[in-house]
Structure 1
């Protein structure tokens, strides 16, 4: 068993399985080095990989992965080199995370997340489980869907899990951020197309058995809320489903938000750094508001199921079916 002790800027190996000559080849940075502990560990891990010592590199990089300033760099090296401690070996899927992923940035910066990598990857898996339960309740299981569109897909937090369950050929992604679409296409092998900030500008390349829209309506301003509902419903194939989520009453109460007379609240602020806050802020809606918008936009009969606080025990879920 290989062990390390970290004291100040030094990483000291406690076993004697390597010769002194090999030890001399390892770089020890002086206490005066301006590098952070994470940067030092990351540098040493890279040197060990260059020397071909994957076993020792794994232990150094796993330690580096705990340092938030280098967490993604260390994670990438572990995953790319298939080292012991990789999430890929545990989860059986591609665990590559983009540096531009705002959702991972949210986890990394949140005080409650002790392990942002684990929390981020587990969160996508949880979403898959919650979606599958929701679809079972309307007798249209996920795995029997022909093609699934994940709309507002981001950089693949959920996509990677959907691909594991269904295969890349049945999954399509769309997002308004070009780098997000390209990342999912190149990393997970899915089809993808660019969305738009104006709902009516979106061109659907096909119709889909399931259109899944997680946490988009929880960010929309009043001016585009109903318009997006109408446009997204148009992407559903006959007999297919539109599933979307909202910040409902529980979320509003938790954040001490007061809804207006319609049951709506919008603040021009969100975790996204890539989208204008006036187009993508933070939105809270009552169930009555959502039901009224469905009725006036599509017809109340299109709603086949609704579950409060279904996703993440925080967002309400709505299921609409197209005849």
Structure 2
């Protein structure tokens, strides 16, 4: 971060550019404001503030204009913070938004494999949805009336409801305490089981399967063997490992840490919880070339 001093106080380059961009907007000079704010957007300390001004004023360089979907990002979004602070990320805005688009394409491929196309799925629940990294892309594909979100963080649910126009409800720390408004044709759970301790892993599986409508699907992902090898993690004799650490700043690490599971562990929990025959598809390292995917189908009535 570059810091510029005027003799009385110091301002980072990002803050200076942000203030200049705001002043240009107040004067009605949208062209110059877009140029200045585009430079501010490259500075990590003001990236979201500059991004918000460009998006809100529909300036040249707006991601919304390029991608055709709502590109607003919450200041409380831990996943964006992960991208912004990661040493390998040169453009956190682009990488964050592209990651959600990639997830949509990977989910659509997975559903094609079990002959239930996403666009033929009436109601989707995105569980552990966060602040909308994936939600915005799901809404573009399906429309907000077909999407419901749920998260244990209240601000995440409210942000998605107000920003993307979806239905949303608050989850709970204990799976048995979640109150499902209805059942859904698809319950999509991306990277929750890659964070759960052993004490709640199978209980969440049972609870989420209960939210699936007859004939519908539960899709979830895990850190599998490739992820364990990449992070030099040794699984126990059951094929399980949990560490009390994660990218989230909003959830206790004892209930949301980092988890690795062998396929044998996952299949055993499925068998003892909902029945082995409900597992209709497995896709190793399917999401982000890093997480395994599992698809369960609930029998029709």
* TM-score relative to the length of structure 2: 0.98
**Cα distance in 1 between the residues matched to 2:240 and 2:116:** 31
Structure 1 residue runs without a partner (length 5+): 1-6, 10-28
**Cα distance in 2 between the residues matched to 1:114 and 1:33:** 29
Aligned residues: 298
Q: Is the 8 A contact 1:154 1:180 kept in 2?
A: yes
The residue aligned with 1:66 is 42
Deviations 1:146-165 (A, max 9, x none): 10000000000000000000
* Offset of residue 95 of structure 1: 0.3
**Cα distance in 1 between the residues matched to 2:173 and 2:28:** 48
**Cα distance in 1 between the residues matched to 2:121 and 2:70:** 22
**Cα distance in 1 between the residues matched to 2:158 and 2:94:** 24
* Offset of residue 70 of structure 1: 0.3
Alignment CA distance shift 1:139-1:194 (3 Å):
same
Q: Equivalent residue of 1:157, what SS?
A: coil
Q: 1:45 aligns with which of 21, 27, 50?
A: 21
Q: Which has the larger radius of gyration?
A: 1
The residue aligned with 1:106 is 82
**Cα distance in 2 between the residues matched to 1:64 and 1:179:** 26
**Cα distance in 2 between the residues matched to 1:31 and 1:222:** 57
Q: 1:186 aligns with which of 162, 167, 175?
A: 162
Q: Is the 8 A contact 1:8 1:31 kept in 2?
A: no
Q: Is the 8 A contact 2:3 2:11 kept in 1?
A: no
The residue aligned with 2:205 is 229
How big is the alpha-carbon RMSD for the aligned residues of Structure 1 and Structure 2? 1.2
The residue aligned with 2:270 is 294
**Cα distance in 1 between the residues matched to 2:224 and 2:270:** 15
The residue aligned with 1:170 is 146
Q: Is the 8 A contact 1:149 1:173 kept in 2?
A: yes
1:261 correspondence with 2:243? no
The residue aligned with 1:15 is none
Q: Is the 8 A contact 1:175 1:181 kept in 2?
A: yes
* TM-score relative to the length of structure 1: 0.91
* Offset of residue 75 of structure 1: 0.2
**Cα distance in 2 between the residues matched to 1:122 and 1:198:** 32
